[in-house]
Amino acid sequence: MMLSFFDQFMSPTYMGVPLIALAITLPWILYPAPTSRWVNNRLLTLQGWFINRLNQQIFLPINQGGHKWAILLTSLMIFLITLNILGLLPYTFTPTTQLSLNMAFAVPLWLATVIIGMRNQPTAALGHLLLEGTPTPLIPVLIIIETISLFIRPLALGVRLTANLTAGHLLIQLIATAAFVLLPMMPTVAILTATVLFLLTLLEVAVAMIQAYVFVLLLSLYLQENV
């Protein structure tokens, strides 16, 4: 049976039960739990250093009210990084290539930032829809454009993450298939293709981390506008 390149993005099932739930819960098992000891091991120390650097990078420009989101956004970024990197392993499934899952992350968090802004500072939140000094004839048009751009934000978050990961996985599969087909006919070209595949895999690891960081960074920018 001929398989399509897009079959790798289908949610796997076992005895009719979708395994995406297992893929989502797996990352939390991989990280060590903090201990009450005075001196931690190297893995816990590295994990704590990474989380501290992440919090400094994201929450430095946000005022004190937005720091309540630190645990949520930090956990989300670590979760997305783990899912993205695990999806690069052979015979695995990447849940973040599913637009429905990414939208399930993006829409509630974006909506929460909007609700916080409308509740705490409604004048400033609505003021983002219209620039100061706008000519009167352009006011209705600009309000419509800014409103549309506001509602497109969660869609852009989800589509960006899905598209980048999907494109990377497809490119890896195409080059791997080309290397496998060329190996018996042109071994030298196949070796060069395998080298490109290795470099592309390293690039995809970086993309997996960067896309998770961009996802959380944009959410923090939306939060900054509303707190």
What are the residue ranges spanned by the domains of the chain?
A: 1-226
For residue 111, give both structure tokens: 């909506």
pLDDT in tens, 36-78: 777 677 777 888 888 888 888 888 778 777 788 888 888 898 8
For residue 72, give Cα distances in angstroms to 34, 41, 82, 201, 217: 17, 25, 16, 29, 13
Please give the mean pLDDT across all residues of the chain: 83
Task: Let me know: does 21 contact 95? Beta carbons within 8 Å.
Answer: no
- Tell me the mean pLDDT in the region 165-190: 88
pLDDT at 185 over 70: yes
Phi then psi for 156, rounded to 5 degrees?
-65, -40
Whole-model pTM?
0.83
* Least confident among 13-17, 46-50, 173-177, 189-193: 13-17
pLDDT of residue 24: 79
Name the nearest CA neighbour of 122 among 42, 5, 226: 226
Q: Is pLDDT larger for residue 168 or for residue 27? A: 168
Q: Distance (Å, rounded) from C-alpha 21 to C-alpha 167?
A: 23
Tens of pLDDT along 137-168? 877 888 888 888 889 999 999 999 999 998 88
